[in-house]
Amino acid sequence: MSNGLGIYIHIPFCVKKCLYCDFLSAPAKLPVQEEYVKKLLSEIEQESVKYRVYSVDTIFFGGGTPSVLPPEWIVQILKKIQECFFVRNTAEITIEVNPGTVSEQALYMYRNAGINRLSIGLQSFQEKELKYLGRIHTPEQFLDTFSCARKVGFTNINVDIMSALPEQTMSDYRNTVEKVLELRPEHVSAYSLIVEEGTPFYEMQLNLPDEDVDRQMYQYTERILNAYGYERYEISNYAKPGYECRHNVAYWRRLPYVGFGIGAASMVDNVRWKNVDDLECVGEKENIQKLTKEEQMEEFMFLGLRMTKGVSRQEFHEQFQVPIEDIYGKVLSKMEQLELLENGDWIRLTRKGLDVSNYVMSEFLID
């Protein structure tokens, strides 16, 4: 079997930018979008020749809000990929959608074209929170989108929710989670809000929940999702058995992936690059970087540790031809002593370690 490959398609458009969003996205008129899709199609076609030896295992339409594009264009892009690449028939093909931007007709077209996983950006079930975040949809629109998705045959759906929102109380959050669980999605991404520099939130006086409430929300999330049969397989991601997002897991496992569209990142054969984030230069690459062995080891650790399963001692040894103890012996025992890591055949974050994962991961950077 040939090597697997992930494909990421970036759609940098949305109806209106959310106040906390620091991703590459903005509203645009239809002709701009059309021009972009044209360039994207030719980028896919041109680049595909380099990936003859790969077979595509996952495809991910991300944004922005990919569902702002007319659905036939999404279908067209997917067709182009299927035409130019060898796409396995077991491939996981995901699209992110926002309630309020997607009709039953669109969902039907996605499903029909082969998209088999849907990621719905809900964020909250509370109307006031959605407004505060600058979201364009209501809770009802979400319910509508979800039931349409089921109706047209989506059996793998993710719902994004957020905690630690401005003005959010514990009972608000509990309400959001409970309502999501009533729908029994296969996958839940639960993030806590991070106020990033450069976003409108950064400039605003926000009444964020204090640390204790934030902690409560965090712990509650894991408890209730476990109770409902979801496994926390990654720091912020929960799935029913067998429904882990393969596309994201591939990032953490450092499997090859290629991104198309502006700002998209790629890594193939231990070379990382990024596409230029300018609509005028679709397909241009920058920051091309051949990873040194040390950098590869660092990534192996800090990406692998995002997964609750952790990283395998044996795999490290096989990949880098050196025992992990030789490189990270000191860090491992220090982190073990602090009860942040379990240090067995698999090395993984403890519950305490998950809470302070950045601290642990930064220790694995080599001076």
Partner 1 sequence: MSNIDQSKIRNFCIVAHIDHGKSTLADRIIEKTGLLTSREMQAQVLDNMELERERGITIKAQTVRIVYRANDGEEYIFNLIDTPGHVDFNYEVSRSLAACDGAILVVDAAQGIEAQTLANVYLALDHDLDVFPVINKIDLPSAEPQRVMDEIEDVIGIEAQDAPLISAKNGIGIEEVLEQIVHKIPAPKGSADNPLQALIFDSLYDSYKGVIVFCRIMEGRVSKGTKIKMMATGASAEVVEVGYFGAGQFIPCDELSAGMVGYITASIKNVKDTAVGDTITDIQNPCSEPLPGYKKVNSMVYCGMYPADGAKYPDLRDALEKLQLNDAALQYEPETSIALGFGFRCGFLGLLHLEIIQERLEREYNLDLVTTAPGVVYKVHKNNGEVIELTNPSNLPDPTEIEYMEEPIVSAEIMVTTEFIGSIMELCQERRGRYLGMEYMEETRAVLRYELPLNEIIYDFFDALKSRSRGYASFDYELKGYEQSELVKLDILINREEVDALSFIVHKDSAYDRGRKMCEKLKDEIPRHLFEIPIQAAVGGKIIARETVKAMRKDVLAKCYGGDITRKKKLLEKQKEGKKRMRQIGNVEIPQKAFMSVLKLDDKK
Binding residues (CB under 8 A) for partner 1: these are: 6, 8, 10, 23, 62, 191-192, 194, 211, 214-215, 218, 235-236, 251, 257, 259, 263-267, 272, 274, 287, 289, 298-299, 302-303, 306, 338, 340, 354-359, 361-363, 365
Residue with Cβ nearer partner 1 (205 or 362): 362
Nearest approach in angstroms of CB 105 to partner 1 is: 27
Q: Which two tokens stand for residue 352?
A: 């305490």
Exposed, middle or buried by CB within 10 Å (0-12, 13-18, 19+), for 269? exposed
Cα–Cα distance, 168 to 49 (Å, whole number): 50
Nearest approach in angstroms of CB 283 to partner 1 is: 16
Residue with Cβ nearer partner 1 (183 or 265): 265
Residue with Cβ nearer partner 1 (141 or 248): 248
Any idea what DSSP says for residue 166?
Answer: T
Nearest approach in angstroms of CB 341 to partner 1 is: 13
Nearest approach in angstroms of CB 84 to partner 1 is: 20
Nearest approach in angstroms of CB 141 to partner 1 is: 23
Cα–Cα distance, 299 to 289 (Å, whole number): 14
Q: The sheet that has 187-192: what strands, in order across it? A: 231-234, 237-239, 187-192, 157-163, 117-123, 86-97, 54-63, 3-11, 257-260, 265-268, 271-275, 285-290
Residue with Cβ nearer partner 1 (144 or 355): 355
Residue with Cβ nearer partner 1 (211 or 269): 211
Nearest approach in angstroms of CB 328 to partner 1 is: 14
Cα–Cα distance, 307 to 83 (Å, whole number): 33
- Alpha helices by DSSP H, the chain: 30-48, 71-84, 104-113, 127-133, 139-151, 170-182, 200-203, 211-227, 246-252, 293-304, 313-320, 324-337, 351-355, 357-362
Residue with Cβ nearer partner 1 (52 or 351): 351
